[in-house]
Chain A
Amino acid sequence: MSAPQHDPAIETSGLVKVFGESRAVDGIDLSVPAGTVFGVLGPNGAGKTTTVKMLATLLRPDGGEARVFGHDVAREADAVRSRVSLTGQYASVDEDLTGTENLYLLARLLGHRKPGAYARASELLEAFGLTEAAGRQVKNYSGGMRRRIDIAASILNTPDLLFLDEPTTGLDPRSRNQVWDIVRAIVAQGTTVMLTTQYLDEADQLASRIAVIDQGKVIAEGTKGELKASVGAGTVHLRLRDEAERETARSILAHTLDAHVQLEADPLALTARVEGDAGVDDASGAEQASRALAELASAGIIVDTFALGQPSLDEVFLALTDQPPGGSTTLDTSTDTSTEEIAS
């Protein structure tokens, strides 16, 4: 792309946005290299949307600085606007218009001439599997279709930076996978993506670097691996044949893995964290787990299912905030939601 390689796609320092009494964004520092997918993870009301809106020139920062490809979002808003696209939490297309009309409208506004605008609209509808729905008003679209037309509208001109604000919230698994496929295809062409999500597996699936945001502050930032390393190398999930053997299994696991073993609500299940030495890759975790499995077998304990996973981002969140995501902010959610409403 035309993006100068030395400028990071996004760079913020001490970014602040205040709504009345509450500091929705409270000093956020981020640096997103061009060409990557950056995940912003946090519960409802953490300040994700407000941050994205400031970066997309929809809200003026109350403090700090934000630059997109080297352009200040407040002073050089137009330069920023020509490089970015935003797909909001709610469909940012006109519900009264059909799919074709929406894309045609935006294509014209982006400077395409009439025939070119129609061609681009129909090509995009085709690629997004919306050709059949092209002539229908968007208000009659399903959630997944809305999301796709919305993303299509965002890439009418291939943007250098695409903001996806909770792109899969409220979608069924199939639609969610389609959106993920689309995002991967867009990223593969060199577009930088900033993705906000409250779904940990989504950030895990798509993003290379992740910032965890809570109450307007970045509480952790790094590559997926770095974040996970702060929790441990992985987790072993076991489900036994016989309930009575769980205690024995627990002590065997605790001994072989040298780790805390958690008894799950399911009376047959146990979870153990595989610590792994610092700097050692996952193989050591797998090795330890297989050794533990052998121990269990030799003790005559039958294991029905067994899974070794990297620690989920849920666990990362738990480790970082001492509280599960969502659970920590039950109280704040209501107030933060109302401030976001005022903001929008």
Chain B
Amino acid sequence: MTTATKHDPPTAEATSVRTDELAALLVAGERPPRPSALSASLTFGWRAMVKIKHVPEQLFDVTAFPIMMVMMYTYLFGGALAGSTSEYLQFLLPGILVMSVVMITMYTGIAVNTDIEKGVFDRFRTLPIWRPAPMVGYLLGDVLRYVMASAVMLGIGLIMGFRPEGGLLGVLSGVALLLVFSFSFSWIWTMFGLLLRSEKSVMGVSMMVLFPLTFGSNIFVEPKTMPGWLQAFVNNSPVTHLAAAVRDLMAGNWPAEHLFWALLWSGALLAIFAPVTMRLYNRK
């Protein structure tokens, strides 16, 4: 009697493994057909959403950070650069939107790197699914973050006096272009996320790429004041074309040339870094 009670305390019973049920599950388990590429990618996108739900602090970079950027640059430099802050805001806001979103793309690399360090990546890699699905999933989740960042910045911009002449359509097409570019650009970070060994090094490399790329553009000032060699870089930078295109779209113009270059850069980035990422992913 005593041994029986010793062996089966009621608490242990509640959490114990039920091998009979388990056996039934193993037999019953039908193997469904493998999911389509789209379905697998969307499932990984769903995972990114759920992670936002569980760790809402990670939205800090798409809420507080962009607000800070808009306010800081408008009030700090507006007067000095454009004579008045409200004048400057019309010029600056689309650019600062581009800069903030391009900057937060780097979190994709950090997310990839963190997953590798935890074991979950190995699980994904042993699944018989479309290989790029986990990467596309990260980026889909991130696109949502970019949308949030854009909405927050445009909201605060409107409060501060930003009046886009392109109207709703102009603003939406500007944001759409920004999302397309960011999606393509993020493949650089998935590559670094796979390539580099720690979160810190991903962060370090990101800064090295992002600072020259975003500041070395026409976001804050017209390149005319810069020395010739710098103008050559700035005028051909993808971020310059993107910022100019977004600015024009929001102002109600049709920036054919900048639009062409921004889309060409997007295509080129995707064509180069997506295959490199997948190669690293398969070899890892």
Contact = CB atoms under 8 A, between A and B. Distances in A.
Contacts of A84: 126
Interface string B99-131: 000000000000000011011111111111100
Given A109-B127, A137-B54, A185-B23, 18 more contacts: A82-B128, A86-B122, A86-B126, A94-B120, A109-B35, A120-B29, A127-B21, A128-B22, A129-B17, A129-B18, A153-B123, A155-B25, A155-B26, A178-B17, A185-B22, A185-B26, A186-B22, A189-B23
B33 interface: yes
B283 interface: yes
Interface in B121-143: 121-129, 133
A214 to B, nearest CB: 25
Interface stretch (A14-22, A100-108, A252-260, A316-324): A100-108
A88 B27 contact: no
B17 A148 contact: yes
B46 interface: yes
Interface string A47-78: 00000010011101000000000000000001
Interface in B168-213: none
27 contacts: A57-B126, A58-B284, A81-B127, A86-B122, A94-B51, A96-B51, A97-B54, A105-B46, A106-B127, A109-B133, A111-B31, A111-B35, A113-B32, A123-B21, A127-B17, A127-B25, A128-B17, A128-B22, A129-B16, A129-B17, A132-B14, A148-B17, A153-B123, A157-B32, A158-B31, A185-B22, A189-B23
Interface in A293-324: none
A191 B17 CA distance: 19
Contact of A110 (B23, B122, B127): B127
Interface of A: 53, 56-58, 60, 78, 81-82, 84-86, 88-98, 101, 105-106, 108-113, 116, 120, 123-124, 126-130, 132, 137, 148, 153, 155-158, 174, 178, 181-182, 184-186, 188-189, 191, 344
B27 to A, nearest CB: 6
B122 A181 contact: no
A126 B50 contact: no
B119 A112 contact: no
Interface of B: 12, 14-19, 21-23, 25-27, 29, 31-35, 39-40, 43-44, 46-47, 50-51, 54-55, 115-116, 118-129, 133, 283-284
A170 to B, nearest CB: 14
Contacts of B55: 96
Contact of B17 (A60, A109, A182): A182
Contacts of A82: 34, 128
A155 B18 CA distance: 15
Chain B contact residues: helix, strand, loop or mixed: helix
| Most chain A beta-carbon contacts within 10 A, residue among B22, B23, B35, B125 | B22
B14 to A, nearest CB: 7
Given A94-B47, A96-B51, A78 B23 contact: no
B284 to A, nearest CB: 8
A113 B16 CA distance: 29
Contacts of B120: 92-95
Contact of A127 (B18, B35, B116): B18
A337 to B, nearest CB: 15
Contacts of A111: 31-35
Nearest to B47: A105
A186 B46 CA distance: 30
